[in-house]
Chain A
């Protein structure tokens, strides 16, 4: 029985160490990224610039949805990178989140508009339906389905490591028309 006890004394720390090794060595450098797939919720919201309504049926193909607001400081940080993407002909739809219309338009005039279309989500209803917890967040959508999602500021590294692998794997074309 003493032998059994000795074995157990060895085994228990071994289990604990292997547990820590397994969970701590896991490469999860992007906690903001997730690849849960779900259908783009049905919505009908006004465009930021005019009274026309934008609904999910009007948006087709592959595009990014970027949740932003003029009060959001991190959105200002990632704005440069979004402009770069837009200059490389990437189709980005802006989802203006809980923002004053005039403030939002002024913001885009001041810093430039990287978006093909901007949806004005004053009450955050579409954002809530998509599981947005705050701005900025970015979704990759193809054929009315969300296939990748990032919570927080996106930059070159996140674009290359989180979004590009999915785009390449599926052979998607994300060019703006």
Chain B
């Protein structure tokens, strides 16, 4: 009898448990959890929205969930956030003239190193 009671007692917590954000389907939910990993919390030095419980991150997560419900694309959601909190909120830096140096300098550096290497061999 006591065992049954205990069982009921513990199971009731999980029965009450409900997800914090409501989504229509599993795909939306997956999209949500991927997005919050790809967006940096604007308040933290470096941490994703997923890792942060700062008030502004909670607000942003709520907005993302709402925008997913409205069938907004990932690009729309990302641009909504980066327009307001800056491009540094996106972990995946876009390739544009301002970031060419960031994206291509390693290859140029590699090329220079290779050139030095081959020149040396000939000498």
Which residues of A approach B to under 8 Å, CB–CB?
A: 1-2, 4-5, 8, 38, 98, 123-125, 128-134
Q: How far is the CA of A74 from the CA of B38 in the complex (A)?
A: 31
Q: How far is the CA of A133 from the CA of B86 in the complex (A)?
A: 11
B55 near A8: Cβ-Cβ < 8 Å: no
A8 near B116: Cβ-Cβ < 8 Å: yes
Q: List 26 A-B contacts (CB under 8 A).
A: A1-B119, A1-B120, A1-B123, A2-B123, A4-B119, A5-B116, A5-B119, A5-B120, A8-B116, A98-B55, A124-B55, A124-B56, A125-B59, A128-B56, A128-B59, A128-B84, A130-B84, A131-B42, A131-B86, A132-B56, A133-B43, A133-B56, A133-B85, A134-B43, A134-B54, A134-B56
A124 near B59: Cβ-Cβ < 8 Å: yes
B63 surroundings in chain A (CB, below 8 A): 128
A133 surroundings in chain B (CB, below 8 A): 42-43, 54, 56, 85
Least CB distance from A5 to B in Å reads 7
Per-residue contact bits, chain B 19-53, to A (CB 8 Å; 1 contact, 0 not):
00000000000000000000000110000000000
B84 surroundings in chain A (CB, below 8 A): 128-131
B54 surroundings in chain A (CB, below 8 A): 133-134
Tell whether B4 is near chain A: CB-to-CB under 8 Å: no
Which residue of A has the minimal Cβ distance to B122? Answer: A1
